[in-house]
Amino acid sequence: MHPDPEVSTEHGRVRGRAEHGVAVFRGIPYAAPPFGPHRFRAPAPPPAWDGVRDATAFGPTAPKPPYPAPLDTLLPDPAVPGDDCLNLNVWTPDPGGAGLPVMVWIHGGSLRHGSSAVPTYDGTAFARDGVVLVSLNYRLGIEGFGWFPDAPANLGLRDQLAALEWVRRNIAAFGGDPDQVTVFGESAGAISLAGLLASPLSAGLMRRAVLQSGAPTAVPLDRADRTTRRIAARLGVPATAAAFAAADRDRLLRAQAEATGGSPLSGGAGFDLVVDGEVLPEDPATALMAGKGADIDLLMGTTTDEYRLWFVPDGTVDRIGPLTQRLALARFRVPRRAAAVYRKERPGATPGEVLGALTTDLLLRVPLGRLADARAARAESAGTYQYEFAWPSPVGGLGACHALEIGFVFDTLRDPATAALAGPDAPQSLADTMHADWIRFATTGAPGWPTWNQDRPVMTYGPETSAVVRAPRDAERRAWER
């Protein structure tokens, strides 16, 4: 392979780099910089360029605050300055090839953190194994998911759609098959992907999807502006896009960090997809349960101990006593019978651990199971597959926590960014298995175990071995359905 591979895109020619036997192109713009006249507006096409554009370094990342301690040591989140943040990266085994399967990664981060430059998301292993891997940036926080009366909603989701449209039009030039696109995402990336599956604007942009630790969700318009108003109050400006666009960017980020917080499980002000009548005509969960996206092969699952990423590092799990647990269960409207079953199934568990397991299942495992059931009930639905990642990290009592599986999927266990969460001795054999299953799904539509049916087969990864488990923790599942 030439050390400086070049490819022509619709906006101009790019020069990448040969690395570890594959060709890598970084920082390719798929939309115009979302600032100046494009700030708080739908993504516009990027300006074309003459000559050959250097694509050897990651492009700018979307404006974002750093993760708060102690998550900042567990979730490395590089920041690259610059306005041209709507960019993507391509790893390909052969830019002169044709017909290769394509996988597009949407990162997580609570819709306010993260980027495609996180080292764990390196696409080399996918390209090594015959896949064209694309990762992308999208607008975050108030810039991407704030709601304003004078601006379009779901701007970050619109960015993702623009990136997928770029893939549709350009990926053949990198050796990929535009009709063989699998989109996968984790946490907020999976929530975004569920929104894309439910959106009429995504028609023809993907063939398969993987939801990792994220379930379909969105808020109605009457709830969408709560976080916007909190930030506006700190800035001392009206809750309009025009007023926010005039604010200093660093000051805006500080106000956002001060006005938001918490986690998907513990609550707190944050950002959501919005049922806006255009990108999302209805709630994604409602749309997908009713059959939207039924023609898309779907792989989805969770980790066993999602909650431990948020409850353990700062000691929250140890501060939760019986009274705090009861108050939290009331706030989440968890049925008493469900709480009783979870306590019985976890002898010796602390109130914090029981609460974490309940909220994990309430927000993730239960809705994904219901979606799988709804799809399986339709004879015309494409394949539906469930997994659970159960290998426990040795780091700080994290167990099989949220985001732990990503390094195994990408086969990047030896990178220090991945080792921060998984430790230095995570089992390579498990990464080999999981990575191969994701590629098999992207290539064939079947990851290697039975599609969802009345037996409820779940591929369970680790800790001793990986095997299909039929109806795992069925008593807990049934507790939600009575």
Give the tens place of pLDDT for each residue, 383-394.
999 999 999 999
pLDDT band at 264 (very low <50, low <70, confident <90, very high): low
Give the tens place of pLDDT for each residue, 425-445.
999 999 999 999 999 999 999
Instruction: Identify the active-site residue in 143, 165, 306, 405.
Output: 306
Please check whether residue 357 is in contact with residue 346, taking contact to mean a CB–CB distance below 8 angstroms: yes
Please check whether residue 24 is in contact with residue 17, taking contact to mean a CB–CB distance below 8 angstroms: yes
* 3-state SS class at 125: helix
pLDDT band at 379 (very low <50, low <70, confident <90, very high): confident
User: How far apart, in whole angstroms, are the C-alpha atoms of residue 154 and residue 192?
Assistant: 10
The answer to whether 187 is a known catalytic residue is yes
Return the pLDDT at 289.
97
| Count of residues in the chain | 482
Instruction: Identify the active-site residue in 165, 402, 405, 476.
Output: 402
Q: What percent of the chain has pLDDT over 90?
A: 94
- Mean pLDDT calculated for residue range 399-409: 98
The helix/strand count (H/E) of the chain reads as 20, 14
Cα radius of gyration rounded to whole Å, the chain: 22
Which residue type sits at 351? P
Q: Does the structure show a pLDDT above 80 at 267? A: no
The answer to whether 258 is a known catalytic residue is no
pLDDT band at 201 (very low <50, low <70, confident <90, very high): very high
Q: What is the DSSP string of 183-231?
A: EEEETHHHHHHHHHHH-GGGTTS-SEEEEES-----B-HHHHTHHHHHH
pTM confidence score = 0.98
- Mean pLDDT calculated for residue range 225-238: 96
* 3-state SS class at 301: strand
Return the pLDDT at 2.
65
- Mean pLDDT calculated for residue range 245-264: 90
- Mean pLDDT calculated for residue range 354-370: 96
Average model confidence (pLDDT) for the chain? 96
pLDDT band at 92 (very low <50, low <70, confident <90, very high): very high
Q: Does the structure show a pLDDT above 70 at 462? A: yes
Return the pLDDT at 406.
98
Instruction: Identify the active-site residue in 110, 115, 135, 187.
Output: 187
Q: Does the structure show a pLDDT above 80 at 266? A: no
Return the pLDDT at 263.
72
- Mean pLDDT calculated for residue range 279-299: 98
Return the pLDDT at 112.
96
Q: Does the structure show a pLDDT above 90 at 268? A: no
- Mean pLDDT calculated for residue range 403-431: 98
Burial of 117 (0-12, 13-18, 19+ CB in 10 A): buried
